[in-house]
Amino acid sequence: MNGILPIYKEANMTSHDVVARLRKILHIQKIGHSGTLDPDATGVLLVLVGKATKILPFLDDTDKEYIATLKLGISTDSDDVSGKIMETREIKQIEHFEELLHTFKGKQKQLPPMISSVRVNGKKLYEYARNNIPVTRPYRDIEIYNIEVLDTSAMKFKVACSSGTYIRTLCVDIAKKSGNIGCMESLIRTRVGRFIIDDCVTLNDIENGNIPLFPIKDALSHYPMMDYEPITDIVQGKHIRLHTSHTQVAIINHDEVFAIYEKDHEDVYRCVRGLW
């Protein structure tokens, strides 16, 4: 069994919990996931089964889409409502919520939350937080492609963004720019790459035999696809010549991704990952 399994992750479970349960249901150990979701968050979690686990490093730049709600008047240590309340403050009404959101469109630097898996000197930020060890958090380059209001009264909005964007931090920043303090109240991930919620199944669906495996090619749609012959060159890991300006490409054979190749010099490319 090989392929991409889009799961609708329910609340009150970690992404690791999903993988652990799937290993028991499917009786397969070679299962991983891309794009961790916090326990309280729900929505699209891409699970990689069998040889699809090989593509995990190549999904780092997969764009995502979320629906989030912002809660004003409190700040927490985790930047969401599940964390310890650090401060409360009277709420200043936001008169033009949509205009405020639009100021966050574009490329920018974002400071990740302390309760996160971002690594600094080999340790995850949440490990520093748990042990009360001070650490300088590194700013990360992100991009907000689109952000729109869904419900002004509920402070609900939809955001399409680059991989690595923390919506918890975005909520804190939106609140701050409005003259408030705030945190994230809820989060649903509605899309990862080309996969949307409608593609997903629940763990109960899997237990009942509904296992919609998608081909590896679908998860690598952000890579340019190129045919190459003879395919034996790829199997043998040879350097090959390609006429393209892209730094990395997916080599396909019979409509399946066979390998990821990377520019070595000029028009010569080398194999960085075989997927046969």
For residue range 46-89, list pLDDT tens digits in order. 999 999 999 988 886 789 999 999 999 999 999 999 999 999 99
pLDDT of residue 32: 94
pLDDT of residue 116: 85
Is the domain of 183 the same as that of 203?
no
Provide the CATH number for the domain around residue 144. Answer: 3.30.2350.10
Q: What is the pLDDT of residues 212-261, one digit of tens each?
A: 999 999 989 889 999 999 999 999 989 999 999 999 999 998 888 999 99
Q: Which of 48, 82, 44, 47 is nearest to 66 (CA)?
A: 44
Of 138, 172, 190, the residue at which a domain comes to its end is 190
Residue 190 pLDDT greater than 90, yes or no: yes
How many CA atoms does the CB half-sphere of 59 hold within 13 Å?
Answer: 25
pLDDT of residue 151: 97
Residue 264 pLDDT greater than 80, yes or no: yes
| Alpha carbon 31 to chain centroid, angstroms | 17
pTM of full prediction above 0.85 = yes
* 183: number of Cβ within 10 Å: 26
Count the helix, strand and coil residues of the chain and give each as a percent rounded to the nearest 5.
20, 40, 40
Is the domain of 72 the same as that of 174?
yes
Which residues form the domain of 204?
Answer: 3-61+194-218
Q: Which of 38, 79, 80, 199 is catalytic?
A: 38
Is the domain of 186 the same as that of 199?
no
Domain count, the chain: 3
**Annotation marks residue 198 as catalytic:** no
pLDDT of residue 117: 83
Is the domain of 239 the same as that of 255?
yes
Do 148 and 161 form a contact (C-beta atoms < 8 A)? no
Do 184 and 80 form a contact (C-beta atoms < 8 A)? yes
Q: Among all chains, which residue has been given the structure tokens 């509605």?
A: 190
Asked if omega into 230 is within 30° of 0 (cis), the reply is yes
Do 165 and 7 form a contact (C-beta atoms < 8 A)? no
Is the domain of 86 the same as that of 175?
yes
CA–CA–CA angle 194, 196, 199 (5° rounding):
105
Q: From start to end of the chain, where are the E strands? A: 3-9, 31-34, 42-49, 64-72, 74-76, 85-88, 106-110, 119-120, 123-124, 140-151, 156-161, 182-192, 195-196, 225-227, 240-241, 248-253, 256-265, 268-274
How many CA atoms does the CB half-sphere of 233 hold within 13 Å?
Answer: 15
Is the domain of 163 the same as that of 73?
yes
Provide the CATH number for the domain around residue 266. Answer: 2.30.130.10
